[in-house]
Structure 1
Amino acid sequence: MTDTDSNAVNYPLLAAPQVQLAGPVDDRMYTSFKQQVAAAYGDGPLVVAITTLGGDPEMARAMADDIRLIRDYTGRETLFLGKVAVYSAGATFMSGFPAEKRWLTRGSRLMLHERQMTSTINLSGPLNTLRYALEAKLAEIEDSIRIQDEGFRALVAGSSVTFDELKQKASSAWYIEAVEARDRGLVLDII
């Protein structure tokens, strides 16, 4: 089969995702996600589709954690379908699904990058207290790196992409075409 042939017939469940998410990953998407998941009752697989240019990584982590809880506590199979663009926080959400439960539509792209931070530290007050403001910011940065690395490890688990390779390439935006994502094992297949 060539990459231009349709592979969708092999995965008929992906034709009608019960949960369809589009737009920025934010609290509104999370609310929509929870509502759609609640309405998608049943025993069969839960198919979740997403198209996003990114957004809030913590909302993505919350949605991924909900997917894990569904799997762990109900035993329900959960399937991921990335459509067109799965960037940044979208890839963080994708990491909540095992690699063998992930698909991309033909022509889709992943974009992976390190977490970003913009912050201003205002140092004002007695000199003996300024150290605590700096230490608190450093602790925030270190914790954010730990969270990022947990997500990176989950994303590459079961693939030929190593954690170190992802860390190196994610220092600037790494765009991955659907074919490469499949060939490297980040997703099971392309439809």
Structure 2
Amino acid sequence: MARLRHMSVSEYRDRILSAPQLRLVGGIDEAMYAEFRNQLAAAPTDGDLVVSLTTLGGNPEIARAMADDVRLLREAGRSVLFLGKAAVYSAGATFMAGFPVHCRFLTKGTRLMIHERQITRTINLSGPLRSCTDQLKAALHEIEHSIEIEEEGFHSLVDESDIDFETLREKAPDNWYIPCDEAQEKKLIAGVI
């Protein structure tokens, strides 16, 4: 009778990561969030849960909501791992920031892309002058609040890594692309599989 060999921790991790229970591909939007919730409801309720993501970006608030669902699962005692495949851009990096570094993995050849939030808005001022200043103040408050949210996400993304917040803030305006090997070297992720 053949004797079974015990798997090393890395072999176990790679086996678990190679069969994600949740597979998300495409833009991060309401449809992806619904698919995420559907797949989550159908996933096994015990053992490690692996969420695989390939995305060119999307809505950062939906990415934050998905990350919050992951946080709640972790706080309830569930082990949840992130596996980025091919491209984890923009809002995908926002979602990845919801996982601690030791739970983040990328497949070979995957790239991260991190950038600042963007806004396109035309403000048409019309009416009494006081109401015009209120319109401008409201737009400014929205921008300031969005910057605060962005910075919270940036802090979460680089927490426990070798990348400091100031470096990320400096590189983000120019769309910072990070190959998987560099992400691992900088301890932004736990490993490449």
Structure 2 residue 59 is matched with structure 1 residue 56: yes
Distance, in Å, in 1 between the alignment partners of 2:20 and 2:180 is 19
Shift of 1:188: 0.5
Residue in 2 aligned with 1:28?
31
Please give the per-residue CA displacement for 1:29-52, whole angstroms capped at 9, x wherever unaligned: 000001111111321011000000
1:15-164 equivalent positions in 2, closer than 5 A: 15-72=18-75, 74-164=76-166
Decide whether the 8 Å contact of 1:50 with 1:82 is kept in 2: yes
Distance, in Å, in 1 between the alignment partners of 2:32 and 2:112 is 19
- TM-score, normalised via structure 2 length: 0.93
Residue in 2 aligned with 1:170?
172
Please list every run of 5 or more consecutive structure 1 residues that lacks an aligned counterpart in the other structure.
1-6
Q: Aligned partner of 2:52: which letter?
A: A
1:14 to 1:156, Cα distance in 2 relative to 1, 3 A: same
Please give the per-residue CA displacement for 1:8-65, whole angstroms capped at 9, x wherever unaligned: 7752100110100000000000000011111113210110000000000011000000
Q: Aligned partner of 1:81: which letter?
A: L
Residue in 2 aligned with 1:3?
none
Decide whether the 8 Å contact of 1:181 with 1:187 is kept in 2: yes
Please give the per-residue CA displacement for 1:127-152, whole angstroms capped at 9, x wherever unaligned: 12110000000000000000000000
Q: Aligned partner of 1:64: which letter?
A: A
Distance, in Å, in 2 between the alignment partners of 1:118 and 1:10 is 43
Distance, in Å, in 2 between the alignment partners of 1:49 and 1:10 is 14
Counterpart secondary structure, 2:173: coil
1:174-189 equivalent positions in 2, closer than 5 A: 174-189=176-191
- TM-score, normalised via structure 1 length: 0.94
Residue in 1 aligned with 2:7?
none
Distance, in Å, in 1 between the alignment partners of 2:95 and 2:32 is 12
Question: Root-mean-square deviation (CA), in Å?
Answer: 1.1
Decide whether the 8 Å contact of 1:8 with 1:15 is kept in 2: no
* Aligned positions, number: 184
1:104 to 1:55, Cα distance in 2 relative to 1, 3 A: same
Moved over 6 A (4+): none
Please list every run of 5 or more consecutive structure 2 residues that lacks an aligned counterpart in the other structure.
1-9
- Largest Rg, 1 or 2: 2
Counterpart secondary structure, 2:174: coil
